[in-house]
Structure 1
Amino acid sequence: MEALSCHDDRDPWMAAMRRGDFAAAWAISDAVVAEHRARGEPCWHWPRHLQYVWTGEPLAGRRVLVRCYHGLGDTLQFIRFAAPLRRIAAHVTVWVQPALAQLVAGAPGVDAVLPLHDGTPEVDYDVDIEIMELAHALRVTPEGLGPVPYLAAPRPASLPDGGPHDNATRRVGFVWRAGGWNPDRSVPTPLMARLFVRLARAGITPLVLQRGLPDDERRTLAADDIGSDDVIETAARMAGLDLVVSVDTMAAHLAGALGRPCITLLSQESDWRWMRHRTDTPWYPTMRLVRVPPGGGWTDALATLEAMLMRPVGTSPTSQQ
């Protein structure tokens, strides 16, 4: 059978989520869980991000272990469900990627965190569930995704001024490259370099949150580098910005979970969680989506972004107009 990508509407579950029909997606998930339970086939030898964990056991009144087997962005997006989980569970432990442990420890509903590793968790529990299975188990709806922010930065970080910073200027942090597993999500650096020049001429201060740039690309950018490999420090720096602009990667979810104004740039074949044709998202009320238009490219999306950033002072670039 041909493998289906994360944006392929031939998958009925993904198609349901992309049109915002969570109830239809959960009905499909119910059938999948029932099949797994009936077959009793172990999956612990599979790659962790492909493993199913929850087999339909009740969560109410139980000690629940939440396993974070997907990416950092997935954990940041779905940790919001620790709060409704804790309202029914006796105790919630999150086995989380070490880079996120401090941030997740402060999330509502989390009683304890353990750093994820290759072995087995050193904790007693009654039932376990993968973090991305929580939405199904709790039967969430697009209207019931919970309040934002649900994560908090420890403090705003001190940032480069880039000249006088007052109500007439904006400081905007940029992330334009996603993980190597899906290069279509990334914007070419030369396009960003030209955008930064135009923004600076308009009195907007572009700042680089992007990590992992080759030195030759970094030297082409007329912008200060404020990026950090530490997620807590990145959160603090986001707290000091007027706006975060990111492609579909961990930084977008971090900004959204912190309740920071954010614009997320999406390729034509965007992930199921961003639905279809929307410029907003129920997952993050402070986020707006800028999509590559059909038949277009990143140049078109950046033109839309630039127009949003050039709105008059006092008008939020993320406001719906």
Structure 2
Amino acid sequence: MALWVAAMRAEDYDAAWALAARTLAERDPATRDDPTLPYHLRWVWNGRAIDRRDVLVRCYHGLGDTIQFARFLPPLAARAASVTVEVQPRLCDLIATVGRGITIVPFYVARPLPPAEVDIEITELDFALRLPPDATPAPYLRAAAAPLPRGAVALCYGAGDWDGERSVPSALFAPLCRFAPCFTLMPEPTDLAVRNPQGCPLDMAHTAGLISGADLVITVDTMIAHLAGALGKPTWLLLKAEPDWRWSPDARRSAWYPTIRLYAQPRAGDWGTVIADVERDLAALGLPALEDSI
């Protein structure tokens, strides 16, 4: 796994795919899509060719993973006889904007679809297609923009329960609100000086609309980062010192999303330095201050 992560961060995709092929060859076919395992721990694709076959894409991981790998659905559709994507219900309408020739159905954990000619988990598509991220560049999803004021900044400081170390204490975002009209993307009330202190509804269309209408998104590593990147919005991504495999702590850019700028902690737990860097860069943008946009 460490070798694969290093290869992906180095953008050496041939090496990463070679490692994935070795892992696939070593798997016991009897454990494929093992119903005794949680969905996010299952493997699905057995290496069968996708060309001119009916393909079922299963979304067994998080919302961010689905958004990240949805970029590969159009090239998959160009090669397969048909493509059906079993998507988390909250994402169905959004993923449907990726392109034509793809059937979107909601994924209900209690009653998944029966197997097709080829089953594949969405995070396996780059490996199956042998395509790097820039083969299908962002933006590849679409959402109607909310009518926000000029210079609006959308903020997300929480990453949920999956990895609490990704979240930033909300109070640290307070200085950022001095430099622009800000909106929170968190589904909870906040004391931050934002235009929507009641929070953002837990609704994908509403969230995507705020992101599309903003000039800039500042977020921690969560689904919001993938959504903003997939929509092609300028995004500043705040990362813990040792982030997830898809982000390199030593880089300022992302091969997955060209509009994303990375801000990684210099030391574990040091959000103060990260926020100071973001505050400096935000001030340099010269966005309309909060009081100037009322």
TM over 0.5, shorter chain: yes
CA shift in 2, pair 1:262/1:140, >3 Å: same
SS of the equivalent of 1:272 reads coil
Alignment of 1:44-193 (within 5 A): 44-108=35-99, 111-122=102-113, 125-141=116-132, 143-144=134-135, 146-153=136-143, 155-159=144-148, 161=149, 165=150, 170-193=151-174
CA shift in 2, pair 1:116/1:95, >3 Å: same
Show the counterpart of 2:279: 306
TM value normalised by structure 1 = 0.83
Q: C-alpha deviations, 1:118-143, integer Å up to 9, x for none?
A: 24444673111000011111112354
Which runs of 5 or more structure 1 residues have no equivalent in the other structure? 1-9, 315-321
TM value normalised by structure 2 = 0.90
| Residue in structure 1 matching 2:24, options 30, 33, 49 | 33
Cα distance between partner residues in 1 of 2:31 and 2:229:
37
Q: Which amino acid aligns with 2:250?
A: H
Residue pair 1:67, 1:129 contacting (<8 A) in 2 also: yes
How far residue 104 of structure 1 moved from its aligned partner, in angstroms, is 0.8
Residue pair 2:241, 2:249 contacting (<8 A) in 1 also: no
Cα distance between partner residues in 1 of 2:267 and 2:254:
20
SS of the equivalent of 1:311 reads helix
Show the counterpart of 1:16: 7
Show the counterpart of 1:3: none
Alignment of 1:245-260 (within 5 A): 245-260=218-233
Q: Which amino acid aligns with 1:151?
A: L
How far residue 19 of structure 1 moved from its aligned partner, in angstroms, is 2.4
How far residue 306 of structure 1 moved from its aligned partner, in angstroms, is 1.0
Q: Kindly report the root-mean-square deviation, in angstroms, between the aligned alpha carbons of the 2 structures.
A: 2.0
SS of the equivalent of 1:152 reads coil
Cα distance between partner residues in 2 of 1:69 and 1:109:
22
Q: Is 1:209 paired with 2:198?
A: no
How far residue 152 of structure 1 moved from its aligned partner, in angstroms, is 0.2
Cα distance between partner residues in 2 of 1:258 and 1:31:
34
Which runs of 5 or more structure 2 residues have no equivalent in the other structure? 288-294
Cα distance between partner residues in 2 of 1:304 and 1:84:
38
Q: Which amino acid aligns with 1:189?
A: S
Percentage identity across paired residues of the two chains: 42
Q: Which amino acid aligns with 1:48?
A: Y
How far residue 44 of structure 1 moved from its aligned partner, in angstroms, is 2.3
Cα distance between partner residues in 1 of 2:222 and 2:118:
30
Q: Any runs of at least 4 consecutive aligned residues in structure 1 with deviations exceeding 4 A, and if so which?
A: none
How far residue 99 of structure 1 moved from its aligned partner, in angstroms, is 0.1
Q: Which amino acid aligns with 1:236?
A: G
SS of the equivalent of 1:251 reads helix
